[in-house]
Amino acid sequence: MDEISLQQVWRTLDRYRGLIIATTTAGVVAAAAVAWFTTPVYRVDVLLAPVDVESGGALSGVASQFGGLAALAGVDLRGNSSGKDESIALLRSRALAGQLIEANDLLPLLFADEWDESAKAWRSGDPAEVPTLWDAYQSFDDDIRFVNENPKVGLVTLAVEWKDPALAKSWADQLVQRVNRETRERAIREAERSLSYLNQQLQKTEVVELRQAIFGLIENQTKQMMLANVREDYAFKVIDPAIVPDLDDPIRPRPLLLIALGATGGLLFGVLMALLLGARSGFESPVRRPQ
């Protein structure tokens, strides 16, 4: 019985082989058209290592005794884990993306379909339909910038995807530079405020133990400020820099993959249609073997 059923199915597929060939061909043509008319998108990756900045070190003992004083002075004695998390959060932040978008005037580029290049103005005169910086950030964060952390090895990958590979590399480089500059400047400002407070407290106390603790905190903050002033890669060190990918190697579309998927989809659709048509008209009777 199974042999007869399979024979009926096979004869039905053979009867509608023209339909199956047509749907398979249509799937290949449609996939090829999608691959041809879709604008290629390229991916640029930067491999980063969070920089270890000494913060507590030998002052861990001071933290247990004079942690309140350190907190008032804005001195972080918890180590570098919080600084690493803040740097990664900044790399993902809306503020950083907004700075990049504004500095490079990317709104017309991100919303090219709504921008009239010849008139240098938005096509719509309705302010409600004009793209905003918030719209640009959402597009940038959802479709262009991707940040992934590998906790096992402690490395961070920044990826930028865009249709112009040279621009994608430029944006990736700028994002890393801006994170390093922002964290460096922030560390200098915090160290300056902490030193100002600690020097004021040093003048107010005569207690030897407290003065020693303050001197230790001052030494720590002075060291932090010196490192921030001389180290350009303050938050992240570039392990594998961004390079411009070849024009024939986009991340999408992948023509061969699309064509394979189109052929498979067309073939399955044709087989399904053939079986449905065969069921409606009645499967051909199997060939009877001679007795």
Residues 47 and 240: beta-carbon distance below 8 Å: yes
Q: Choose from 32-41, 80-89, 161-170, 195-204 the range with maximum mean pLDDT.
A: 161-170
C-alpha span between 130 and 121 (Å, rounded): 10
Question: Confidence class of residue 282 from pLDDT cuts 50, 70 and 90?
Answer: low
Question: In sequence order, which ranges of 74-132 are alpha helices (DSSP H)?
Answer: 81-91, 94-104, 107-110
Question: Confidence class of residue 125 from pLDDT cuts 50, 70 and 90?
Answer: confident
Residue type, 129: E
Interval 120-134 mean pLDDT: 91
Residues 26 and 264: beta-carbon distance below 8 Å: no
Flag whether pLDDT at 241 surpasses 80: yes
What pLDDT score was predicted for residue 171? 97
Interval 211-230 mean pLDDT: 85
Flag whether pLDDT at 159 surpasses 90: yes
Furthest C-alpha separation in the chain: 118
Flag whether pLDDT at 286 surpasses 70: no
- Token readout for 204 is 């107010």
Q: What is the chain's mean pLDDT, rounded? A: 85
Which of the 8 DSSP states describes residue 117? T
156 or 12: which carries more pLDDT confidence?
A: 156
Flag whether pLDDT at 168 surpasses 90: yes
List the Cα angle 112/161/145 in 5-degree steps: 95
Flag whether pLDDT at 42 surpasses 90: yes
* pTM, 2 dp: 0.77
Which of the 8 DSSP states describes residue 112? G
Question: Confidence class of residue 81 from pLDDT cuts 50, 70 and 90?
Answer: low
Interval 224-246 mean pLDDT: 91
